[in-house]
Structure 1
Amino acid sequence: MRGFTRQQLTNLLGVLAIAVTLAGLAFGLPALDRSLPAERFVADDRPYAIGAGVSIVPPPGATVDVTGTRPRDDRGTALFRLGPVRYAISVQPFDGTLAAAATRLRERITGTPGYQVTGTQLAIATASGLAGLEGGYSAPGRGGRYAVFVADGRTIEVTVSGSELDLGLRLPMIDTSTRTLSYRAVS
Structure 2
Amino acid sequence: MRKVTRRQLMNLLGACGVVGALSGLAIGLPALNHALPSERPVRDDRPYTIGGGVTVVPPPGARIDVTETRPAQDNGSVLFRLGPVRYLITVRQFDGTLQDAATRLRQRITGTSGYQVTGSELTITAVDGLEGRQGGYSGPGRGGRYAVFIADGHTIEVTVSGADLDLGHTLRVIDTSTRTLRYARERTE
TM-score category, normalised to shorter length: over 0.9
Q: For residue 25 of structure 1, what is the aligned residue in structure 2?
A: 25
Q: For residue 115 of structure 1, what is the aligned residue in structure 2?
A: 115
1:138 Cα deviation after fit: 1.1
Residue 3 (structure 1) aligned with residue 3 (structure 2):
yes
TM-score, normalising length: structure 2: 0.94
Q: Distance in 2 between matches of 1:30 and 1:140?
A: 33
Q: Distance in 1 between matches of 2:176 and 2:48?
A: 14
SS in 2 for 1:67: coil
Q: Distance in 2 between matches of 1:178 and 1:32?
A: 34
SS in 2 for 1:88: strand
Q: Distance in 2 between matches of 1:25 and 1:61?
A: 36
TM-score, normalising length: structure 1: 0.95
Q: For residue 59 of structure 1, what is the aligned residue in structure 2?
A: 59
* Matching residue's letter, 1:94: F
What RMSD over aligned residues (CA atoms) do the two structures have, in Å?
1.2
Q: For residue 44 of structure 2, what is the aligned residue in structure 1?
A: 44
* Matching residue's letter, 1:38: S
Q: For residue 180 of structure 1, what is the aligned residue in structure 2?
A: 180
Q: Distance in 2 between matches of 1:110 and 1:59?
A: 27
* Matching residue's letter, 1:130: L
Residues 33-67 of structure 1: per-residue CA shift (max 9 Å, x gap): 11111111111111111111111111111111111
1:74 Cα deviation after fit: 1.7
Q: Which runs of 5+ in 1 are unaligned?
A: none
1:140 Cα deviation after fit: 2.7
SS in 2 for 1:70: coil
* Matching residue's letter, 1:55: T
Deviates more, 1:56-65 or 1:149-158: 56-65
* Matching residue's letter, 2:103: T
Q: For residue 76 of structure 1, what is the aligned residue in structure 2?
A: 76
Q: Distance in 1 between matches of 2:152 and 2:89?
A: 17
Deviates more, 1:80-89 or 1:46-55: 46-55
Q: Which runs of 4+ in 1 moved over 3 A?
A: none
* Number of equivalent positions: 187
State the identity %. Answer: 66
1:163 Cα deviation after fit: 0.5
* Matching residue's letter, 2:99: A
SS in 1 for 2:112: coil
1:6 Cα deviation after fit: 2.0
Deviates more, 1:168-177 or 1:107-116: 107-116
* Matching residue's letter, 1:50: I
